[in-house]
């Protein structure tokens, strides 16, 4: 035979091996030995999704925000999918860093509103695990301040730099989570609304924001 195939078995994954090949002819002439060659075996495919070692849970609920956190048994990123409709979750806030402990803050929420959410954890091999759907309710606004502060875009009973940024984002066409930034009620969020809320916050420097 002039062609030979030998299969090496029971090797370790992700391991470098060195080998030589010797060949002797039918007349018994001394073997010819090749130079040393190497190869590295492949890693074992990872098809196991991450496991939640600490189930997703919520904390730090305010009128407009909530924190979702969880832990997994391996490095993973993930995201929180949420909405006010329990049957159709459309909003997504994602983490980008790999880790075993994750924390995501949901912002620009509406006061006194129930939100449903799911956590999706994704490992480095793109295996993913889904948490159990849960819900939380944001804090309601105090009755004495609801709807009485023009420029209070996020309904936290005060007008500050956060409201300015929300109006600027809305004027630029950036989604602010359904909050109403049309302060002068002209059916458009524009420079007039931005200027109004700036005037309400004295001493605010927004030179880097616009």
Domain boundary among 91, 107, 137: 137
**Domain final residue, candidates 95, 110, 137:** 137
Residues 131 and 61 in one domain: yes
Query: Domain holding 206: CATH number?
Result: 1.10.1330.10
Predicted model pTM: 0.60
Instruction: Domain count for the chain, please give it.
Output: 2
Instruction: Retrieve residue 134's tokens.
Output: 């849960």
Residues 106 and 158 reside in one and the same domain:
no
Examine the domain organization and report whether 150 and 102 are in the same domain.
no
Tens of pLDDT along the chain (210 residues)?
778 888 999 988 889 999 999 888 888 787 888 899 999 998 888 889 999 999 999 999 988 889 999 999 999 999 999 999 999 999 999 887 899 999 999 988 888 899 999 999 999 999 999 999 999 999 887 766 665 667 888 777 778 888 888 989 998 989 888 888 888 778 888 888 888 887 777 555 444 343
Q: Residue for token digits 């007039």?
A: 192
Could you tell me if residue 37 is inside a domain?
A: no
Distance CA 70, CA 170 (A): 31
161-180: burial string, b at 16+ Cβ within 10 Å, e else: ebbbbbbbbbbeeeebeebe
Is 70 within a domain?
yes
- Quote the domain boundaries for residue 203: 143-210
């Amino acid at each position: 035979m002039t062609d030979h195939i030998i299969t090496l078995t029971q090797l370790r994954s992700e391991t470098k091996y060195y080998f030589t090949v010797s060949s002797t002819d039918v007349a018994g002439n001394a073997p010819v030995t090749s130079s040393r060659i190497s190869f590295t075996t492949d890693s074992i495919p990872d098809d196991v999704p991450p496991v939640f070692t600490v189930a997703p849970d919520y904390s730090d609920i305010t009128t407009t925000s909530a924190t979702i956190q969880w832990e997994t048994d391996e490095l993973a990123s993930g995201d929180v999918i949420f909405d006010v409709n329990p049957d159709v979750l459309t909003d997504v806030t994602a983490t980008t860093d790999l880790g075993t402990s994750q924390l995501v803050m949901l912002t620009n929420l509406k006061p006194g509103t129930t939100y449903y959410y799911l956590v999706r954890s994704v490992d480095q091999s793109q295996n993913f695990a889904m948490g159990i759907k849960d819900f939380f309710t944001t804090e309601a606004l105090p009755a004495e301040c609801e709807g009485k502060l023009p420029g209070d875009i996020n309904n936290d009973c005060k007008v500050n730099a956060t409201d300015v940024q929300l109006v600027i984002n809305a004027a630029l066409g950036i989604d602010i989570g359904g909050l109403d930034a049309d302060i002068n009620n002209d059916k458009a969020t524009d420079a007039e609304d931005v200027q109004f809320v700036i005037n309400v916050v004295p001493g605010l420097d927004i030179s880097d924001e616009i």
